[in-house]
Each structure stands twice: as structure tokens, then as C-alpha cells.
């Protein structure tokens, strides 16, 4: 066999062997790619995404699209060839598996957590939107969850309204942890509460619950390594009463990142005229009750998905701007926002065609 032919054959066999090895070698990585994008002003699976009853609404136009990211499942074992292809692909991103599923989290656990975050983001979107349009919302601090085998188990219950801790009125959910951690482990802390059942009955009758109970709990030491703080074993949250009904209908989506776009959709429906002026605007970002916009993951995938659907502008959380600006899809303008007010102001400029002064994302 001629030397040249033998060399080519050997090289081909080696390449085949490397490819085969790459297929069978598993690597601890997962893949993210652009997911579906849905217009919060439109319909999904045949019904409106936002449904408002008990309050006058106004016609809307254009798009206010929320964006998503697809990820590989927790039990999917990516091979070396797939990882290399993902690294080279422009529209995909390969990340360490633990980034998406930390501490051995299962797909079921991740799905449940995402569903809870999605539900909370909807509530915060409603609150932020109503505050933006000047509609008052009643809010109160509640016991959100009670951890099993902790001092609070059996003493406090999910839905209990926390009025005070050690006699100090509670005004925000994070007040609870601050007041509890003033104690040392083993000390007693007194919660003044309205029991969940009584609160629910009062809400049903459209009354304000007035009867309170004092619950005394002995604190325990946190299980977190290196921490000496006192705990009782609850997480606090916020509940609300809305003056009319706002339903968000969107299945098979999780996480908190659609909060901003839901809030803007609600604002658009509750105010005369069109926020977008008929333009195609997409975006992302968490939102809290005060209207502050927070960062999200997978920003590069979301801008790609938005532009592929026709978006002209992308509302970008200010903390994501630098990452998003590193690779902007052609024809897409990234607009930096820090609050719902920033987003509404930007939409005013977009609607009016005054885009030169928009706060745009830059790499620095």
C-alpha cells in the first residue's frame, strides 16, 4: 500500500475513532436555546393571555412579548460531540449542568420551583402594574411556608397573617427575618398573627380580620454551616387583595422572568391608547411589588428568540445589559430598564418615534 494512501487511511480511522469516542464520552454540561415568545396582549392556545374583569379596559395593538429559554432536562447526559457543537453554535449556549440543576436538583424539583416563582411573578406583576396606573392595592405579610421539623411546625401555618414580632409591627416580609434574628438560638420570640382560616373567612365576606393571637416559639440555630443566626423555620411572603380580577393564562412556562412584560400588558389594557403604538416590543425581567426590574438568566437566548419572531425593541434589565450587548441580533435595539416606570417611559418614546434618546444597552 502506498505511503500516502496508508496515511490517509490511518487518519480517517483515527477521526472515526475520535468521533465515536466523542459520542460515548459524557460531559457534565447542559444546553440552553431560544424558547417560545408570547404576546401578553394577544392569545395563547385560543384564549387571551391577560383577562381583566370588573374594570374598564381599552383596546391594544402591537406586541409586548415575554420571552423564554429552552433547557435540556436534568437527566439528559450530553456527550462531547454535542457539547462542542453547542459551543460553536451561535444560537445555543452550553453551561455546566449544575448551573441549571444545582445540588443534584431533579427535574421535578426544578419544575415545581419554577412554577412557584412563575405564580409569584404574576402576583407582583399585578401589584406593580396597578401601582403604576394609580390603583391602590391592599397588602399584608403572611407565613408563606413552614419548614418540617422546625420550631414553627404546628405553631404557625401557611397563610397566617403576621401583624407583629415581639410587639414590633411588621410592614414588609423581610421585617420578619430581621426581627427573629435579633434573638439568639434558644430564646423565645412572640408572633402576633391572624390565623389563616380567620383571614380567609374575612376576605370572603369582604371584611378586615381583627382578632389576633400571640404565638410564642423558641428559636433554633440555623442549619447553614458557619452561621449562628436564630430561626423559627418559616419563610414570609406578601399577600394582596385586588379591587378587580386579573387572570394570567399561560401554561407550560416557569420562572419569574416574565414579570415585567405581564405588568406592562396589564398597564396597556387599563389605560387609553396603545403603549407600543403598534410596534413589536419584546423583553424580559423579574419585577417586585414596588416595580423594580431584576436580572434574569439566558439573556442572549431571549434576544435571539425575540428577533426571530420579529421584535424591533427589547426591554432589557439594566443588570443584563452588558451581557446582552455583547452579541445583539441585527435589527434589534436593546433598551435598558430598571423599573416599570422606565419601561413605560421608553414605550412612550418608541410609540412617538423619538428613539434617539432611548437608554440603550452597551458593553461597558
pLDDT digit string (tens) for the chain, length 364 residues? 465 565 665 556 555 554 555 445 665 566 778 899 999 999 998 999 999 999 999 999 999 999 998 877 666 666 655 655 555 565 666 656 566 666 666 667 766 777 778 888 999 999 999 999 999 998 999 999 999 999 999 999 999 999 999 999 999 999 999 999 999 999 999 999 999 999 988 887 878 888 899 999 999 998 776 667 899 999 999 999 899 999 999 877 878 899 999 999 999 999 999 999 999 999 999 999 999 999 998 899 999 999 999 999 999 999 999 999 998 999 999 999 999 999 999 999 999 998 998 999 987 6
For the whole model, what pTM was predicted? 0.79
d(CA 283, CA 333): 11
Cell of 333: 435595539
Residue found by looking up cell 396597556 in the block:
268
**Predicted local distance difference test score (pLDDT) of residue 22:** 46
Q: Report the pLDDT value the prediction gives residue 278, as an integer from 0 to 100.
A: 95
pLDDT at 45: 87
In sign, the C-alpha dihedral spanning 97, 98, 102, 103 is positive
β partners of residue 6? none
Residue with cell 460553536: 88
User: What's the CA gap between 128 and 289, in Å, rounded?
Assistant: 5
H helices of the chain, where? 3-24, 80-88, 97-100, 107-132, 173-180, 196-204, 259-270, 299-309, 321-325, 340-352
Q: How distant, in Å, are the alpha carbons of 140, 144, 346 from that of 242?
A: 12, 19, 27
Provide the sign of the torsion angle of the four alpha carbons 306, 249, 120, 117, taken in this order. negative
Residue whose grid cell is 430598571: 338
Neighbour tally for 112: CB within 10 Å: 13
Give Cα separations from 204 to 23, 198, 239, 241, 260 (angstroms). Answer: 60, 10, 15, 11, 30
Can you give the pLDDT at residue 343? 98
CA distance 150 to 98: 28
Q: Characterize the bridge pairing of strands 43-44 and 47-48.
A: antiparallel
Q: How far is CA 224 from CA 227, 228, 229, 236, 324, in A?
A: 6, 8, 9, 18, 35
Concatenated DSSP letters for 270-321?
A: HSSS-SSTT-EEEE--EE-TT-BEE--S-HHHHHHHHHHHT-SEEEEEGGGH
CB atoms within 10 A of CB 342: 19
Position 100 scores a pLDDT of 62
Amino acid at each position: 500500500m502506498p505511503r500516502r494512501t496508508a496515511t490517509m487511511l490511518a487518519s480517517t480511522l483515527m477521526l472515526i475513532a475520535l468521533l465515536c469516542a466523542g459520542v460515548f464520552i459524557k460531559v457534565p454540561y447542559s444546553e440552553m436555546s431560544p424558547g417560545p415568545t408570547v404576546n401578553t396582549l394577544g392569545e395563547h392556545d385560543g384564549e387571551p393571555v391577560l383577562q381583566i374583569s370588573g374594570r374598564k379596559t381599552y383596546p391594544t395593538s402591537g406586541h409586548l412579548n415575554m420571552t423564554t429559554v429552552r433547557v435540556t432536562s436534568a437527566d439528559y447526559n450530553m456527550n462531547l460531540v454535542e457539547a462542542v457543537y453547542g459551543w460553536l453554535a451561535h444560537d445555543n449556549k452550553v453551561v455546566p449542568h449544575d448551573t441549571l440543576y444545582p445540588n443534584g436538583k431533579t427535574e421535578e424539583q426544578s419544575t415545581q420551583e419554577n412554577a412557584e416563582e412563575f405564580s409569584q411573578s404574576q402576583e407582583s406583576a399585578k401589584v406593580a402594574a396597578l401601582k403604576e396606573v394609580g390603583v391602590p392595592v391592599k397588602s399584608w405579610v403572611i407565613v408563606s411556608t413552614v419548614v418540617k421539623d422546625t420550631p414553627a411546625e404546628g405553631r404557625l401555618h401557611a397563610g397566617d397573617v403576621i401583624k407583629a414580632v415581639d410587639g414590633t409591627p411588621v410592614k414588609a416580609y423581610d421585617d420578619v427575618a430581621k426581627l427573629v434574628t435579633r434573638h439568639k438560638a434558644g430564646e423565645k420570640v412572640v408572633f402576633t398573627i391572624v390565623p389563616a382560616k380567620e383571614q380567609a373567612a374575612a376576605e370572603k365576606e369582604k371584611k378586615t380580620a381583627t382578632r389576633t393571637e400571640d404565638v410564642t416559639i423558641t428559636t433554633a440555630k440555623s442549619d447553614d454551616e458557619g452561621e449562628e443566626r436564630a430561626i423559627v423555620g418559616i419563610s414570609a411572603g406578601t399577600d394582596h387583595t385586588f379591587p378587580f380580577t386579573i387572570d394570567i393564562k399561560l401554561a407550560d412556562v416557569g420562572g419569574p422572568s416574565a414579570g415585567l412584560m405581564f405588568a406592562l400588558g396589564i398597564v396597556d389594557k387599563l389605560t387609553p391608547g396603545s403603549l407600543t403604538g403598534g410596534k413589536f416590543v419584546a423583553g424580559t425581567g423579574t419585577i417586585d411589588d414596588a416595580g423594580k426590574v431584576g436580572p434574569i438568566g439566558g439573556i442572549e437566548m431571549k434576544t435571539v428568540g425575540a428577533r426571530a419572531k420579529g421584535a424591533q425593541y427589547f426591554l432589557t434589565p439594566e443588570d443584563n445589559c452588558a451581557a446582552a450587548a455583547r452579541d445583539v441580533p441585527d435589527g434589534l435595539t436593546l433598551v435598558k430598564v430598571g423599573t416599570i416606570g422606565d419601561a413605560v417611559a421608553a414605550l412612550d418614546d418608541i410609540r412617538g418615534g423619538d428613539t434617539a434618546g432611548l437608554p440603550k444597552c452597551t458593553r461597558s
